[in-house]
């Protein structure tokens, strides 16, 4: 998991360098929004989809909705909450399945170069202890 976080930080640094020549602190929220909108390969969903159970509406979505006039009809609060709960459950279940598949794929790649090693009593080995 540490590698994924480091990869995210590296991506964010590159985006900051490309996007924000001056006033980088003003661009961070926009870049974070952009990175949270992109589906992650291992999960198959964007972080926003996993947290909010729907695609978060950004500026372009709002403009598109206004132009196409496809605004959804109002619904009761109870109906909204029930739909939200169902969507969250289904999304998390699919994300777990996708993550399991990604882990299986990573194991296959790792196992291609892994070699079975057997040790006998009396063999010399190097043991590294983490403190």
Q: Where are the domains positioned within the chain?
A: 1-37, 42-110
pLDDT at 74 over 60: no
Beta strands in 18-74 (DSSP E): none
Coil, helix or strand for 88? helix
Which is higher by pLDDT, 16 or 59?
16
Burial profile 30-56: b = 16 or more Cβ within 10 angstroms, e = fewer = ebeeebbeeebebbbbbbbbbeebeee
Q: Mean of the pLDDT values across residues 107-129?
A: 90
Average pLDDT over residues 71-84: 66
Count of beta carbons in the 10 Å neighbourhood of residue 91: 19
Q: For residue range 31-50, what is the model confidence (pLDDT) as tens digits?
A: 778 888 888 877 788 888 88
Q: Residue 13 — very low, low, confident or very high, per pLDDT cuts 50/70/90?
A: confident
């Amino acid at each position: 998991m540490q590698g994924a976080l480091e990869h995210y930080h590296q991506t964010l640094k590159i985006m900051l360098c490309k996007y924000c020549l001056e006033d980088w602190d003003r661009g961070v929220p926009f870049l974070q929004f952009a990175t949270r909108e992109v589906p992650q390969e291992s999960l198959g969903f964007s972080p926003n989809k996993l947290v909010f159970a729907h695609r978060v509406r950004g500026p372009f979505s709002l403009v598109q909705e206004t132009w196409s006039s496809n605004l959804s009809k109002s619904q009761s609060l109870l109906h909204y909450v029930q739909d939200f709960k169902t969507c969250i459950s289904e999304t998390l279940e699919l994300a777990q399945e996708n993550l399991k598949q990604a882990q299986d794929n990573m194991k296959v790649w790792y196992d291609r170069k892994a070699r079975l090693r057997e040790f006998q009593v009396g063999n010399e080995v190097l043991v590294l202890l983490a403190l």
